[in-house]
Amino acid sequence: MNNGTTNAPVVSPRRKFGLIGCLGIIVLVVIIAAISGVSTYNSLVKLDQGVRSQWGQVENVYQRRADLVPNLVETVKGAASFEKETFTAVAEARAQVGQVKLDASSLANAEAFARFQQAQDGLSSALSRLLAVVEKYPELKATENFQTLQSQLEGTENRIAVERMRYNEAAQAFNTKRMSFPTVLIAGFFGSRFAEKAYFQAQAGAETAPKVKF
């Protein structure tokens, strides 16, 4: 006899606890995944900031060299005023360096990075040719002003090599972390925010970063 009521299905206590257990596991997995994702994101941020900070050091030493160039050229001109092609090459190379800027946010742009390095290496080559001219003028090399500039430039070139190496190490640490699994999935989700960083490359025909030799 139907008394007008509907009998709801009865869920056994065992099944109820089983469903709660499954739900708990799912929630736990989601929480662990979220914590892992946040940790991975934070580690990428830390490494990215390390690359940016080191890039700032690279920019500083390159700027120091650019600031030394005018005084060096003027000092050498006093004794070698007829070497116009050499001075012109240095001036043009320095101007090119001033035109090719690379912001820390563009370190993943391999083409822009290559243009920046090419401009800086061009100035290194021009300075090398300029200093080769100085070899013809022993009286210039003996002056206190030139010796001071020579020492400053030599120290700056050595510093450039060191900071470039440290930048490459920071970029490698970031890229290694970025390319590892499952970090690569999180990095890919954020697109260009965590794109792979470019590296400094040795000049063609050289095994080390360019240096000015005296």
Q: What is the residue-level pLDDT of the chain in tens, covering all 214 positions?
A: 455 555 555 556 666 666 776 777 787 777 776 677 788 889 999 999 999 999 999 999 999 999 999 988 888 877 666 677 888 899 899 999 999 999 998 999 999 999 999 999 999 999 998 888 888 888 888 888 888 998 999 999 999 999 999 999 999 999 999 999 888 988 888 888 899 999 998 865 444 444 444 3
Tell me which DSSP letter residue 195 carries: P
The residue type of 70 is P
Whole-angstrom distance, CA of residue 78 vs CA of residue 118: 30
Domains, the chain, ranges and CATH? Answer: 41-194 (1.20.1440.20)
**How distant, in Å, are the alpha carbons of 31, 171, 188 from that of 184?**
20, 15, 6
Which pTM does this prediction carry?
A: 0.79
